[in-house]
Each structure stands twice: as structure tokens, then as C-alpha cells.
Amino acid sequence: MNPVAVLECALYLVLLVALAWPLGAYMARVYTGESTWADRVLGPLERVVYRLSGVKSAVQMNWRQYAGAVLVFHVFGFLAVYGLQRFQAVLPLNPAGLPGVPPEVAWNTAVSFATNTNWQAYGGETTMSHLTQMLALTTQNFVSAAAGMAVLVALIRGLTGRQVTDVGNFWVDMTRSTLHILLPLSVVLALLLVSHGVVQTFTGSVSVHLLEPTTSADGKTVADQVLALGPAASQVAIKQLGTNGGGFFNANSAHPFENPDGFSNLLQMLSILLIPVALCFTFGRMVGQPKQGLALLMAMFVIFVPLLALTVASEHQANPVLTALGVDPAMGNWEGKELRFGITSSAIWATATTAASNGSVNAMHDSFMPLGGLGPMWLMQLGEIVFGGVGSGLYGMLVYAFIAVFVAGLMVGRTPEYLGKKVEAFEMKMASLVILLPSASVLIGTAVACSIPAGTQPLGNPGAHGFSEILYAFSSGSNNNGSAFGGLTVNGLFYSTAIGIVMLIGRFWVIVPVLALAGSLAKKKIVPPGAGTLPTHTPLFVALLAGTILLVGALTFIPSLALGPIVEHLALR
């Protein structure tokens, strides 16, 4: 790798941690109900929200009630997004006069946004009215992210509670996540983005007179360029902060009006990982041992940094096919990338957006070099726990921590414990569910798609790369990422339905076991650490944890990765 690329990666990681640390402390105060500097403005708003929604904020829930509230809330979230899309033609704020969204795409999008995946089976500017973008998509960007954070907080309460049944109040956790964390950050980020050129208007489009007329595919002369506009900045801000990723425009953050320059790009890249990293600090504070959060963060970095290096180095390689045609061999792989970001920023983004379950893109992953695409794909397949989604990443990581202490316990023949809580058969069953179900849906979904015409006809690329498109799609859906190898046409009946189903599995068949874990852990007493306790804040544990994740991820996915990116890489050489 060239030194400038290394320097940029280092700058990114340093800025990220520097911003996340204070935010982590602030979020711990929000979740423990301590007063914060923002209470003056947000406190009254919070009380109004409780009054209007009939929430009794003092009521505590056990894990079953908590899970029930999460599920019911998402059902209505789904219905709202589905309905708004279907009826957008007759609703206001539709300046482009777009028709209602077809049922299969509306179903897919509704699942996608309710599960915090934000997989896009549609082209933003050509499918969704401004009303749909705002009321349906922007709202879900907030509340689905907030729900993930709430579930994490419930699990942390399970770890810190002493022989209790309650894990918190979902409505309070979700509302506080939205109002005290996501909303203020989004307003600030949105305005910073606008200052650099991200559009924010209710005008549908503006027409400009081209300097040189161009010719359309049907031979007509085109003298004007129609620039699609809209309230993009407000949606872009929360799409990054809430690890959502659904773009306002089809090209997502590669579009100049979503991401106009190097600075807006840096801001958005930082926002992608900001809250997931900060939550590690929040966790440390909430369990009263900052080192525990730091150890989880270190395990994430141990996996992230090598895959970042792989992706950046791969994209700085020239495509040998193009070099053979006489193209500059020193410039790297520019297909699908934007000049104003450059190759390093595009590769950092791809790694960050797939490490987090964000899924927004500033370059087309489908056109990455084979190994440049492998890094992002594997990061998703690891279960979106290396940073991961807001909340969902860390609760997934904690599940792996239980497995790591369990494996260590097996080696020495002791009952494993984590933070003084004994990890027993029930916890391991739930942890297995969390890991097995999304992995199974990636592999089974890919296998089904490969064997039927409806799965292979929509491919945008032939050969091994076509297989990669399918594998990427199911990895992204099952792990609630939302990015895509965009050459695959996914608005047909098969992919809309299948990806919709795996998104549901990846979200709720994880959330429910995690809440069951929270409930089971809350009931246990906290055992003081003894001589045989494995400390979980040491480099040894970091290595054990990262090793467990990589081993499970490698055993599950290397065979399928070998059929896609690895074959393509070898064939290109």
C-alpha cells in the first residue's frame, strides 16, 4: 500500500475514536437516566412524546414484554411504510408524479427499512415520492436504529441486574435513543452536509441548459439536464448515523447531491461507525468497567484493520484486463468510483459500511476487484458484529463473547462466566440461534437462487462474478446490511420476496434470542471473580474473541467465497 493511503486510513481511525469516546460517555448518561446538557430542550419534547403516545415511563418490562413491544412496534412500522408506498400517487408531496410502488417492491422496502437493513430494490429518485422518503423511510431510519440500541441496552441491563426479572422499558429506551442521541446528531450532520452541497429542498427537480447538447439512446437530441432534487440532507444524515444506508438517490452516496466533496465524504464515513464504536464505550461505563468495552472494541479493530488493508490494497491494483488494453497500470481500479473521493476513501467506505450494517455506498462494490469485494462480503457474513449496526452490532458481539468464554471454559473444565454471570446451557442455545440462523439463510438463499432461473436471470455479470452477486445479496440481506453488488436486478418477484424473508430472519430471529438472553442473565446473581475466572478485558481475551469470530466465519463461508471472489481473482491473474 502506498504511504498516503496508510496515512488516510490512520487519520480516519484516530478521528473516529476521538469522536466516539465523548459520545459514548454521553450515551451512557442517556441510558442510565442521568441528566445531560441537552435535557433542557429535549426533556420537555420527551415528556410530550410520552404523553401523546400513552407511555408510562416508570413501568418496567420483563424480557417477554420487551420483545413483544419490539415486535408489535415493528409490525406497525412495516404496515406504515408499505401503505405509504402503495398510495403515494394520491398523497401529497409527490412533485415528480410518481405512481404507487408495486406490491413486491413495497413489501421488500417495508421489511428492509423496518429491519434497519435498507436494502434498496428501488431507485430512489425514480420510485419514491418526497412524502414516502420522509414519513416512511426517514422515520424508520430513526426508529429501527433506536430499537436496535434499545435491545442492546436491555441486554446490558441483563448483565448488570442482580436477580431481577426486569430489563427496562422498550418505549423509553427507544424514545430516548431517538430524541437524545439520533435526532440532535442528525440535525448537526445534515446542516454540515448542506453547507458542502447536499441538497435540501421540496422542489422536485430543476432543469439546466447544457453547454453541449447530447444524444439519447433513441437518437433524440437532449439540450437540457434535469437535476433531481429533494430533502436529501436530512435523510442522508440519519441514514449514516443510524447504520441504515438507504440513499435518497439511486447512486446513494456516490451521487454528487448526497456526497458532494471530500469533506462531506469524510464526515459521512465517520458517521457510519460513530455510534457503533461509541456504544463500546457506553457499554464499558454501564457495566462499571470501561476496560470491558475497550476489549470488545479492540477485538473489532483486530478484525477490521486487516480487512481494511486488503480492500484498500486490492482497489489500488489496476485491473489486468484493462492494463492489457493500454490503460495506465498505476492508477488503480476506477470503474464505479468517483474522482472527488479517490480510491482510498472508496475502499475505506466499503469496509466501514459493511463492517457496520450500514450499507450505503460511495462507489459501486460490484465493480471492485475480486478481493476488494471479498473483504466487504466477509465482514457482512461475520454477522455484522465488527462494529455492526447501532446496538445490533454490539449485542451480536456480546453473544460472541459468551461463546468465547464458553469455549475457554470447555478447555479448562469450568463453568464459564462473563462479567460475573454464569454462561450456561440456555445462554449457549440462544447464542447458537443468533449465529446459525442468519448464516443458514445466507447459504440456503444463495443455493436456492443459484438453482432456479428466477435467481440467475437477473444477474448483471457472467461467471464467478455472477455467483458473487448472489452471495453478496443474501449476505447483505440476512445480516441487515443493505449494500449490494448492484448489477443484480433485485426488483423482481423472487429477489424481492426472498431477500425480504432473510432480512426478517436476520433481524428478529436475532433480537428475540438476545432478549431471552437478557432475561435469563438478569435473573442470575453476580459471582465475584475467583482464581479460575477468565478475565475478559485482557489481550488474551481479545485474541480469543477475535479468533472465535474468525473461525466461525471462516468455517461457514470460505467454501462459498472460494466459488465467487477467489475464483474470479485467480482467473483474472
Partner 1 sequence: MKATILTAIRALLVLTCVTGLLYPLLVTGLAQAVFPVQANGSLLRDGNTPVGSSLVGQAFSAERYLWSRPSATAPFAYNAAASTGSNLGPSNPALAAAVKQRIETLRHADPGNRQVVPTDLVTASGSGLDPDISVAAAAFQVPRIARARGVAVGEVETAVRQCTHSPLLGMIGPAHVNVLCVNLALDHVSVRP
**For residues 473-532, which are near partner 1 according to CB under 8 A?**
485-487
Residue holding cell 490503460? 327
Shortest Å distance, C-beta 407 to partner 1? 38
Binds partner 1 by CB under 8 A, chosen from 35, 90, 209, 412: 209
Binds partner 1 by CB under 8 A, chosen from 37, 40, 163, 321: 321
Q: Determine, following the binding rule CB under 8 A, whether residue 39 of this chain makes contact with partner 1.
A: no
Q: Which three cell numbers stand for residue 66?
A: 420487551
Q: Determine, following the binding rule CB under 8 A, whether residue 375 of this chain makes contact with partner 1.
A: no
Cα–Cα distances in Å, from 171 out to 54, 73, 158, 326, 547? 10, 9, 17, 61, 37
Of residues 337-366, which lie at the interface with partner 1 (CB under 8 A)? 337-342, 344-346, 361-364, 366
- Mark the segment that binds partner 1 (CB under 8 A) among 174-182, 377-385, 395-403, 411-419: 174-182
- Mark the segment that binds partner 1 (CB under 8 A) among 28-36, 188-196, 381-389, 495-503: 188-196
Contact call for residues 286 and 31 (beta carbons, < 8 A): yes
Binds partner 1 by CB under 8 A, chosen from 62, 85, 117, 235: 235
Q: Determine, following the binding rule CB under 8 A, whether residue 210 of this chain makes contact with partner 1.
A: yes
Q: How many CA atoms lie within 13 A of 42 on its CB side?
A: 18
Residue holding cell 401523546? 52
Nearer to partner 1, 40 or 56 (CB): 56
For residues 406 and 548, give the distance between their C-alpha atoms in angstroms, rounded to a whole number: 11
Q: How many CA atoms lie within 13 A of 501 on its CB side?
A: 12
Shortest Å distance, C-beta 568 to partner 1? 5
Shortest Å distance, C-beta 256 to partner 1? 4
Binds partner 1 by CB under 8 A, chosen from 89, 187, 555, 558: 187
Q: Determine, following the binding rule CB under 8 A, whether residue 223 of this chain makes contact with partner 1.
A: no
Q: Is the dihedral of CA 241, 247, 248, 251 positive or negative?
A: positive
- Mark the segment that binds partner 1 (CB under 8 A) among 18-26, 301-309, 329-337, 400-408: 329-337
Q: Determine, following the binding rule CB under 8 A, whether residue 217 of this chain makes contact with partner 1.
A: yes
**Per residue in 331-355, is it b (16+ CB within 10 Å) or e — as a string?**
ebbbebbbeebbbbbbbbbbbbbbb
- Mark the segment that binds partner 1 (CB under 8 A) among 29-37, 175-183, 352-360, 539-547: 175-183
Binding mask 84-123 for partner 1 (x = CB under 8 A): ---------------------------------------x
Q: Determine, following the binding rule CB under 8 A, whether residue 244 of this chain makes contact with partner 1.
A: no
Shortest Å distance, C-beta 149 to partner 1? 14
Contact call for residues 365 and 488 (beta carbons, < 8 A): no
Label residue 192 exposed, middle or buried (CB < 10 Å: 0-12, 13-18, 19+): middle
3-state SS string over 508-540? HHHHHHHHHHHHHHHHCCCCCCCCCCCCCCCHH
Shortest Å distance, C-beta 165 to partner 1? 18
Q: Determine, following the binding rule CB under 8 A, whether residue 463 of this chain makes contact with partner 1.
A: yes
- What is residue 554's DSSP assignment? H
